[in-house]
Amino acid sequence: MERTEIIKYEDLTTRIPAKELSTLLKVSSSLASTMDLIEVLQIAIENTSGMLDLETGAIYTFENGELFLGATTPPLSPQFPDELRFAKLCDHPHINNVVSTKAPVYLEDARLAPLSIAEKIVVDSRHLVSVLYFPLLLKEEVIGVFIVGTTSKTRSFTNNEIDLCYILSFQVSLAIANALLYKKAQQSIADLSRAYDTTLEGWSRVLDMRDHVTEEHTLRVVDLTVALASRMGIPDSDLGHIRRGALIHDIGKMGIPDAILQKPGVLSDTEQKIMQTHPEKARQILSQIDYLTPAMDIPYCHHEKWDGTGYPRKLIGEEIPLVARIFAVIDVFDALTSDRPYRKAWKKEEALVYIKNQSGKHFYSEAVKAFLEMVEE
């Protein structure tokens, strides 16, 4: 059973009855409902087997001479050999024939057909009788093979069913290609995000050195802020932005002169006013970087106070972004319990008392409550 001529999708659809076209539309809709490759493959093989009223099916994707078993119906038994889930094309002559000819291959009775060792293991373990191997073509390139068959008796396939398989092949191939593109895009985004975050960590280390604080301080603040934010119900999807905001919370200090930033004693009123410009400088820096805009709340607002006496905008209460309210508790606690050029570190108990006493004044009371509970645990 072979068709070597080029078959157009549009020509095929004119030969399919309206009832089956309606089913194909539903299959297409199902395939478009997800970009997860495993889900796409499972939907594809279940629908293909169902439309042809067959008991079993499998989809192999094909890359660089290797076959990857992506989905089966019914599910594989635990006894199915692992080595056949990832197989070499040369070990499966019938699939190899499909790949080389880009045409379907049909075995009326696989139990009687000449098979390779690997093929016989598959046929025996899946109890296959009639088997149809069909290419998954994308722009005339074979990207995989779907295999459907019977397990009880022999079965022939009509021309109409073969046309149906070609249409399904087009639909499934496109869905697989979209899922692969999406996966690559997601991987690229993740790689880019890691590269950005590595750069931010480098900025953070430079800032720590300028400000005479240790790298451990920044890492502690980051980890505690993420933990407290999660505890207070911040969605996981936002924790990455919170981590970045905590990591570069003092990025505005890049614009503060060393004479002020590194002064070992108490700042004068004039110096203090200059120091208090660093949140605004942070906003100016980060507003130019789209990737970091969602992380801006902490660098810009972490010196605001619940009672409105903070800076730079003297925000009051819930005017202060929640993540900045959460971070403020962590930042002050860690600062108090760390040595600074102008003072020795406080004892942990003393710092906790201070945090508790500033609840509802400097700090958001719910953040203080959650923090104290977290410290106790």
Sign for the pseudo-dihedral over CA of 156, 158, 161, 166: positive
The model's pTM is 0.58
232 in the same domain as 281: yes
139 in the same domain as 230: no
- pLDDT of 25 over the 80 cut: no
220 in the same domain as 163: no
User: Is 119 among the domain residues?
Assistant: yes
Give the pair of three-digit tokens for residue 160.
């109409």
Domain boundary among 166, 183, 200: 183
Q: What is the pLDDT of residues 38-95, one digit of tens each?
A: 888 888 888 888 888 899 999 998 877 788 888 899 887 777 777 668 888 889 999 9
Q: How far is CA 2 from CA 57, 60, 135, in A?
A: 20, 20, 11
Measured between its terminal Cα atoms, the distance across the chain in Å is 69
User: Is 362 among the domain residues?
Assistant: yes
- pLDDT of 298 over the 90 cut: yes
172 in the same domain as 275: no
What would the mean pLDDT of 94-112 be, rounded to a whole number? 93
User: Is 146 among the domain residues?
Assistant: yes
Q: What angle do CA 36, 227, 319 make, to 5 degrees?
A: 100
User: Is 69 among the domain residues?
Assistant: yes
247 in the same domain as 163: no
- In terms of C-beta density within 10 A (0-12 exposed, 13-18 middle, 19 or more buried), how is residue 18 classed? exposed
Q: What region, left, alpha or beta, does residue 140 occupy, with left being phi > 0 and alpha being psi -120 to 50 degrees?
A: left
Residues 6+ apart with CB under 8 A from 136: 59, 61, 142, 143, 144, 145, 146, 169, 172, 173, 176
For residue 331, the domain's CATH number is 1.10.3210.10
User: Is 193 among the domain residues?
Assistant: no
Percent of the chain with pLDDT over 90: 44
Domain of 233 in residue numbering reads as: 211-376
Q: What is the pLDDT of residues 199-233, one digit of tens each?
A: 787 777 777 666 656 557 778 899 999 999 999 99
Give the pair of three-digit tokens for residue 339.
């040595």
Q: How far is CA 312 from CA 59, 329, 367, in A?
A: 60, 17, 21
269 in the same domain as 145: no
Q: What is the CB-side half-sphere exposure of residue 183 using CA atoms within 13 A?
A: 13
Task: Read off φ and ψ for residue 69, nearest 5 degrees.
Answer: -75, 110
Q: Tell me what the pLDDT averaged over the chain comes to.
A: 85
User: Mapped to the 3 state alphabet, what secondary structure does the chain carry?
Assistant: CCCCCCCCHHHHHCCCCHHHHHHHHHHHHHHCCCCCHHHHHHHHHHHHHHHCCCCEEEEEEEECCEEEEEEEECCCCCCCCHHHCEEEHHHCHHHHHHHHHCCCEEECCCCCCCCCHHHHHHHHHHCCCCEEEEEEEECCEEEEEEEEECCCCCCCCCHHHHHHHHHHHHHHHHHHHHHHHHHHHHHHHHHHHHHHHHHHHHHHHHHHHHCCCCHHHHHHHHHHHHHHHHHCCCCHHHHHHHHHHHHCCCHHHHHCCHHHHCCCCCCCHHHHHHHCCHHHHHHHHHCCCHHHHHHCHHHHHCCCCCCCCCCCCCCCHHHCCHHHHHHHHHHHHHHHCCCECCECCCCHHHHHHHHHHCECCCECHHHHHHHHHHHHC
Domain boundary among 164, 183, 202: 183
Give the model's pLDDT for residue 4. Answer: 41
- pLDDT of 125 over the 80 cut: yes
Question: In the chain, how many domains are there?
Answer: 2
Q: What angle do CA 86, 91, 92 make, to 5 degrees?
A: 90
Q: What is the pLDDT of residues 348-360, one digit of tens each?
A: 999 999 999 999 9
